Structure formats: C-alpha cells, structure tokens
Chains A and B, each alone.
Chain A
Amino acid sequence: DAGVIQSPRHEVTEMGQEVTLRCKPISGHNSLFWYRQTMMRGLELLIYFNNNVPIDDSGMPEDRFSAKMPNASFSTLKIQPSEPRDSAVYFCASSLVNNEQFFGPGTRLTVL
C-alpha cells in the first residue's frame, strides 16, 4: 500500500488566491482527518470525516476554509481567499475508527 497520498507537497501562492489541497486515504480506511501544523499553534485538527460524512468541523478556522470528501478515496481542503496567516503544513490522515491514524507527508503552504 502506498500510504496516505497528499498533493501538492509544496504550494506557494499569493494572498487572495484560491488554494486546493488534495488527499487520497489508505484503501479500506473509513475515517479521514485534516490537520494544520504551525510553530505557534502546534498540530490542530481542522475537520474529520467518517464514511465520507463530515463529523466535526469545529476546528475549521473560518468560512474561507472548506473541505469535501466526495468518495471514499478522495478529499480536498480548500482555502478561498488565502491569507499569509494560513501558511502552515497541512496533514491528511486516515484510520479505521478509534484506531491508529496514518499520516500523509503533508503539504507545505506558503501564502505571500
């Protein structure tokens, strides 16, 4: 198994632009998580899905952030419009419910 796949690995964009981060979970996993990691705030859970349904999006910082999971093998995290304070590493993880999470390599986002 290739593990959790995230793309792109690096993204540099200008303030105000739309950013879309992509994630392919491990086949057979039924939970998917989006995290943001910064030096100041550490690792933050943004949103998670069970069986493609969003369960808890209380960690999504603002309406500029949205996440979708149209099927069991794909999820997106979109930021529109992006701001410099959104610069961070964004991780996707997948799991079977209540078991260990497998993390992707992350997307390093820089908003200028």
Chain B
Amino acid sequence: AQSVTQLDSQVPVFEEAPVELRCNYSSSVSVYLFWYVQYPNQGLQLLLKYLSGSTLVKGINGFEAEFNKSQTSFHLRKPSVHISDTAEYFCAVSESDMRFGAGTRLTVKP
C-alpha cells in the first residue's frame, strides 16, 4: 500500500523568501500525486496534481512541484511567499484510494 512522508511538521519563513515543503512517498505502482492546502477553519483545497507527463507541475497561487521518480519525491516550492500563504499543506498519493501525509504548517512572518 502507498504511504506519504512529509519531512517537516512546521516551516517558518519570512515574507518574500522562497520556500520548499518536502514530500516523499512509497508505492509499488504508478501513482497520482497531489498537494492540498488547508486554511484555518476550512476544508482542503487542491493546489496542484501530477497525473502524468511533465514532471514539473504548476499550481495555483504561484506554487509548483516536481515529481522525481528516482527519489520518490514530490516537493512543493514557491519562490516568494506572502503572509496569506500561512496554512497547513498536505501531500497525498493515490493508488486505489488516497493517502495523506501528516501535514506541514507553513507560517509566513512579516
């Protein structure tokens, strides 16, 4: 069965700095990969997804992620963060069902 590891539970960063949120997965078959964002008191929203094709995936709000099959990683990046990016970010992998990582809390400070 597939599993997801998010290596950082919390990432503090200053506004306008770059950020990378790390995600590694394990699976025995080809998978679909996702990043979701959860703002306080809200449900999860899709940021971006990798189904096939180009390994660099661009999502909403200036985020992008790169699928690396050899390293079984799908790290999320943004070159310059805003205060409004403060949220919980979840990586997920889908085979027959979807499994979520434990989440990374991104805090953007002024």
Contact = CB atoms under 8 A, between A and B. Distances in A.
A98 interface: yes
User: Does more than half of chain A's interface fall in helix, strand or loop, or is it mixed?
Assistant: strand
A110 to B, nearest CB: 14
B100 A98 contact: no
**Most chain A CB atoms below 10 A, which of B34, B43, B44, B94:** B43
B34 A45 contact: no
**Most chain B CB atoms below 10 A, which of A43, A48, A95, A102:** A43
User: Does more than half of chain B's interface fall in helix, strand or loop, or is it mixed?
Assistant: strand
B21 to A, nearest CB: 15
A101 B45 CA distance: 9
Closest 7 CB pairs of A and B: A103-B43, A103-B44, A42-B102, A43-B100, A105-B43, A100-B46, A106-B43
Interface of B: 32, 34, 36, 42-46, 49, 51, 90, 94-100, 102-103
Interface of A: 4, 33, 42-43, 45, 48, 55-56, 91, 93, 95, 98-106
